[in-house]
Amino acid sequence: MTWFTSLDRVIETTPAGLRDRFVELLTNGHRLALVAAHHDPPIDGAVGVGTIRVVYVMVAGPPDTRLELHVRLPTDEAMLPSLAGVSFSAGRFEREMQDLFGIRLVGHHQPGRLVLHQHWPDGWYPMRHDAGPQPDFRDETQSYPFITVEGPGVYEIPVGPVHAGIIEPGHFRFSVVGETILNVKARLWFVHKGIERLFQGRSPDGGVELAERISGDTAVGHSLAYCLAIERATGTVPPPAAQLLRAMLLELERLYNHVTDLGAMGNDVGFGIAHAHTMRIRERLLRLNNEITGHRLLRGGVYPGGARATWLPQASTLAAIHDDIHDVVEFMMANATVVDRFTGTAVLSTDDAAQIGTLGYVARASGISTDARREHAFADLYQNLTVPLLTGGDVMSRFEIRVAEIDASIALLTEFLPNAQMGEHRTPLDPVVGPGHGVGLVEGWRGTIAHRVEIGSDGRLTRVKIVDPSFFNWPALPVALAGDTIVPDFPLANKSFNQSYAGNDL
Amino acid sequence: MSVSGIAVALLQVALTIAVAPVLVGLMRKIRARLEGRIGPPISQPWRDLRKLLGKQRLVSANTGWVFSLAPLVLIASAALVAAIVPFLSTRSALDQVGDLFAVVYLLLLGTVFLSLAGLDAGTAFGGMGASRAMTITAIAEPTVLVAIFALSVSSGSSNLGAIVSSTLANPSTAASPQSLLAFAALAVVTIAETGRLPVDNPSAHLELTMIHEAMILEYSGPDLALLELAAHLRLVVFLGLLANLFVPWGIATTVQPLHLLGAAAAVLVKITVLAAIIAVVEVFIAKLRLFRVPELLAASFVLAFLAVTVSFFLA
């Protein structure tokens, strides 16, 4: 098979052999980073409806290792043996493919719909190339299968999807005794946009603006993952100056989001003054961003083959921001009530965090060391990277890990600054690109972002698969809550996870 | 019941209603400035009330008479207490009913009706708020009772006018141990009953953490305006009660207009100082974990109990 020109090793396998291959890679220390289904049209006018191709991207590192398992299925009888029994996250990817591609799962223990709500029409699979126009939505005839917890004194509290604050839509159903949460079901997927399909047919350069808007607070993380995937697919090597700017933008994005979270967690325990001050620091950072890329959320800084910056911050500015943040953190940690509210709340155990496959600060606060900057460094920049690790798994750990990551980010930025150059740094993409495919892995502020792109022989995107770390992390929230968390602590626990709804629901 | 006594009572109600929203606006302003924000203008609560009063009255079809009655009961009980409590003069027309028990239970009547109204709409949040409010009230109530005992012992009466007059006659009792302990106990109860930090967050926007706000989620328009105003009134009444029970100086013992004017100025200053203290303290404290609130209230009960014990031994 010479159809692909890529650096990543591809292993073709059969549905029957998939499970053994997968388990072998898992036990070798690989992690499932992404699963993408593809509906390929028949080649050169052959009859039929084409084939379904499922790609499992397995990664490990350091050194940066990426393997792809490819499985082909006939479209009319797309039966996929489920891996849900060996990998929780694989089971979630499978349900996503079932909803969007009509792949039937064999042996899945929880084969219900995931991405598409019950009112989406049956038998219409929006990601198939011959899906056609969208049929009318029906009424929600099947109700959603919430688990009913029964027993004396158990009652349910439904919250959302419309909330009192300005947050994204999600429905949470609490089964409660008194104030203690027995079980929570998070029903998400209210914001399905079909963004993966929107990429199809665009030029590689034209995909950046979409990538920046996958999750508004992760413009750099997603656009960089996209660009890295494009560069791997086309064999483009960006200039080192561009890679340095990209690394800086990535840390600036981490900085403004982590600062916001610190204060928001304070706000959720009624400590508004911390929120007021972190919002002030955030505003300062956003204005800095605006100077650097012309956009407060850092859009426009990263594009295929390069990066640009119109201004660079002073080292003294970064040091001042660092001190400012630490003043607020010290002020918060001096308050016994704040410490009491954070400590021991919503504990995610290391075992649960590992089983679920969590990423980012959620994993690192629960004793799992994962960081794509170390495992899949996109440039030779991270020798002095420190990856903080805590084992508490509670709200306090998720607070402290953010503080430690802010320090690490500022240290990196300070290290990068003397070598950084303003302006545009770009290696133009080869005009005759494709066909090809590539995977981009980036440590966004929430965790490892994975993009996999395929480019057709006409140089246009044929498939872009996006995985935000929220897709892995969301299931950890109900697990952390169940058992001993009380209802009024939910907003705080949720804020300490702060997962993306838009990045999760593509 | 003299005409001038009635005039004093009406004046107290009018003054309380005029001042309450402004006081709340001032507290928000103080908090905002201390947090480094500009904050809304002090008159914002009045503007909010005017806006709400101009709106259509919408009531859920699933509610009963309790839901419609509750705002009226709340505003009426708060206004009645404002008339009874000796804010301006010890010679109020309602002095005969100006009993501390009556006042406290009039305020509790409002709390109970609000909780019932929260349950009435049958929503999860209303029930949750009502359950929490009742938990807090059930623990706060004994504190109030015992603190009242402590205050009544020294003056020999639970009549508000009598307690205030007794303190005016013997200024040293204001600084007595039992008085200070009772003040501390009632101050905690005031915080709990008026929904301030660290018990409840008056600026909460998170449904699941609310107490007071959860109970009034189903209200809108004029009903909500009444509830908001009643909440403002209760704050002023509690603060005024605290101020004049323990630091009564400035209050008029006659009903002469000039004395009343002086008394009004005195009570306004006292309430404003208390409100400012609460606003400043609130900036630096966070909301307690819900299960820790009973511990705070239990501590206030201990203080009240000590007040009674001390008053018997020192009497």
pLDDT at residue A142, as a whole number:
64
User: pLDDT category, A18, cuts 50, 70, 90?
Assistant: very high
Please tell me which residue, B200 or A220, carries the higher pLDDT value. Answer: A220
Smallest CA–CA distance from B293 into chain A, residue: A337
Answer whether A276 sits within 8 Å of B201, measured CB to CB.
no
User: Smallest Cβ distance to A487: which of B36, B208, B288?
Assistant: B208
Query: Is A163 at the interface with chain B, CB within 8 A?
Result: yes
Q: How far apart are the first and last CA of chain A?
A: 31
Find the radius of gyration of the CA atoms of chain B.
19
User: pLDDT category, A2, cuts 50, 70, 90?
Assistant: very low
Token pair 């009406």: residue: B10
The residue of B206, B207, B292 whose CB has the most chain A CBs within 10 angstroms, and thus the best one to mutate to test that interface, is: B206
Report yes or no: A90 and A34 within 8 Å, Cβ to Cβ: no
User: Smallest Cβ distance to A486: which of B285, B287, B290?
Assistant: B290
pLDDT at residue A131, as a whole number:
85
Listed in sequence order, the DSSP H helices in chain B are 3-34, 44-53, 65-84, 100-120, 124-155, 160-169, 177-193, 212-215, 221-246, 257-284, 293-314
Token pair 């006409």: residue: A458
What angle do the packed helices B177-193 and B124-155 form, to 10 degrees?
A: 160
Report yes or no: A299 and A293 within 8 Å, Cβ to Cβ: yes
Integer Cα distance of B14 and B30 in angstroms: 25
Answer whether B287 sits within 8 Å of A273, measured CB to CB.
no
E strand spans, A304-420: 306-309
A473: phi then psi, degrees, rounded to nearest 5: -85, -30
Token pair 């859009």: residue: A299
Please tell me which residue, A353 or B92, carries the higher pLDDT value. Answer: A353
Answer whether B284 sits within 8 Å of A273, measured CB to CB.
yes
Report yes or no: B54 and B220 within 8 Å, Cβ to Cβ: no
The set of residues, in sequence order, having a beta carbon less than 8 Å from that of B226 and lying 6+ positions away, is: B71, B72, B74, B75
Query: Is A170 at the interface with chain B, CB within 8 A?
Result: no
Set of chain A residues whose Cβ sits within 8 Å of the Cβ of B292 = 340
User: pLDDT category, A320, cuts 50, 70, 90?
Assistant: very high
User: Smallest Cβ distance to A337: which of B125, B128, B285?
Assistant: B285
Average confidence (pLDDT) per 10 residues, chain B, 315 residues: 80 93 96 92 95 92 91 94 87 76 88 92 87 90 85 83 87 84 90 87 78 88 94 93 88 84 92 95 91 90 90 76
Q: Is the bond leading into B257 cis (omega within 30 degrees of zero)?
A: no
Answer whether B287 sits within 8 Å of A179, measured CB to CB.
no
Report yes or no: A108 and A82 within 8 Å, Cβ to Cβ: yes
Q: A285-305: b or e for each residue (b if 16 or more CB lie within 10 Å)? A: bbebbeebbeebbbbbbbbbb
Residues A362-382, mean pLDDT to the nearest whole number:
95
Set of chain A residues whose Cβ sits within 8 Å of the Cβ of B207 = 159, 163-164
B27: phi then psi, degrees, rounded to nearest 5: -60, -40
pLDDT at residue A48, as a whole number:
73
pLDDT at residue B3, as a whole number:
79
Q: Which of residues 231-250 of A touch B (CB under 8 A)?
A: none
Give percent of chain A with pLDDT exceeding 90: 76
Which tokens belong to A440? 């981009």
How many other C-beta atoms can be found within 10 angstroms of the C-beta atom of residue A479?
A: 18
pLDDT at residue A317, as a whole number:
95
Element holding A414 (H helix, E strand):
helix A395-416
pLDDT at residue B272, as a whole number:
96
Which has the closest alpha carbon to B137: B177, B92, B194, B90?
B194
User: Smallest Cβ distance to A337: which of B198, B207, B290?
Assistant: B198
User: pLDDT category, A151, cuts 50, 70, 90?
Assistant: confident
The residue of A157, A283, A339, A485 whose CB has the most chain B CBs within 10 angstroms, and thus the best one to mutate to test that interface, is: A157
Report yes or no: A313 and A293 within 8 Å, Cβ to Cβ: no
Looking only at the bridges linking them, the beta strands covering A447-455 and A461-467 are antiparallel
Q: Is the pLDDT of residue A369 over 90?
A: yes
* Burial degree of B118 (CB within 10 A; 0-12, 13-18, 19+): buried
Q: A419-465: per-residue pLDDT in tens?
A: 999 999 999 887 656 688 999 999 999 999 999 999 998 889 999 99
pLDDT at residue A147, as a whole number:
80
* Burial degree of B314 (CB within 10 A; 0-12, 13-18, 19+): exposed
Residue A428 DSSP class? P
Looking only at the bridges linking them, the beta strands covering A65-74 and A9-13 are parallel
DSSP secondary structure of A95-149: HHHHHHH-PEEES-SS-S--SS-TTSPTT--TTSTT--SPPPP----SPP-PPPP
Answer whether B128 sits within 8 Å of A266, measured CB to CB.
no
Residues A490-505, mean pLDDT to the nearest whole number:
94
Which tokens belong to A294? 């012309």
Residues A106-126, mean pLDDT to the nearest whole number:
89
Q: Is the pLDDT of residue A6 over 50?
A: no
What ipTM does the predicted assembly reach? 0.88
Report yes or no: B142 and B303 within 8 Å, Cβ to Cβ: no
Mean pLDDT estimate for chain A: 91
Answer whether B208 sits within 8 Å of A280, measured CB to CB.
no
Q: A255-268: b or e for each residue (b if 16 or more CB lie within 10 Å)? A: bbbbbbbbbbbbbb
Integer Cα distance of A390 and B108 in angstroms: 48
Integer Cα distance of B151 and A434 in angstroms: 88
Answer whether B37 sits within 8 Å of A273, measured CB to CB.
no
- Cα–Cα distance list, B220 to A159, B52, B59, B206, B268 (Å): 20, 7, 8, 18, 31
Length of chain A as a residue count: 506
Q: Is the pLDDT of residue A5 over 50?
A: no
Which tokens belong to A101? 């591609």
Integer Cα distance of B307 and A390 in angstroms: 48
Set of chain A residues whose Cβ sits within 8 Å of the Cβ of B123 = none
Answer whether A272 sits within 8 Å of B36, measured CB to CB.
no
Q: Is the pLDDT of residue A90 over 60?
A: yes
DSSP helix/strand/coil, A278: helix
Longest dimension (CA), chain A: 71
Which has the closest alpha carbon to A88: A483, A478, A494, A495?
A478
Q: Is the bond leading into B202 cis (omega within 30 degrees of zero)?
A: no
Please tell me which residue, A47 or B19, carries the higher pLDDT value. Answer: B19
Residue A217 DSSP class? G
A254: phi then psi, degrees, rounded to nearest 5: -60, -40
Set of chain A residues whose Cβ sits within 8 Å of the Cβ of B287 = 269-271, 337, 341
Which has the closest alpha carbon to A453: A433, A469, A472, A430?
A433
Name the interface residues of B facing A (CB cutoff 8 Å).
31, 34-37, 124-125, 128, 197-198, 201, 203-209, 283-292
Report how many Cβ contacts below 8 Å link chain A to chain B. Answer: 78
Its pTM stands at 0.92
Set of chain A residues whose Cβ sits within 8 Å of the Cβ of B128 = 157, 487
DSSP secondary structure of A162-177: S-SSS----EEEEEEE
Q: Is the pLDDT of residue A255 over 70?
A: yes
Q: How far apart are the first and last CA of chain B?
A: 34
Integer Cα distance of B237 and B79 in angstroms: 9
Looking only at the bridges linking them, the beta strands covering A104-106 and A79-81 are parallel
Which has the closest alpha carbon to B267: B247, B283, B287, B281?
B247
Integer Cα distance of A167 and A271 in angstroms: 19
Element holding A449 (H helix, E strand):
strand A447-455
Answer whether A270 sits within 8 Å of B205, measured CB to CB.
no
Smallest CA–CA distance from B28 into chain A, residue: A272
Q: How far away is chain A from the Cα of B273, in angstroms, using its nearest Cα?
A: 21
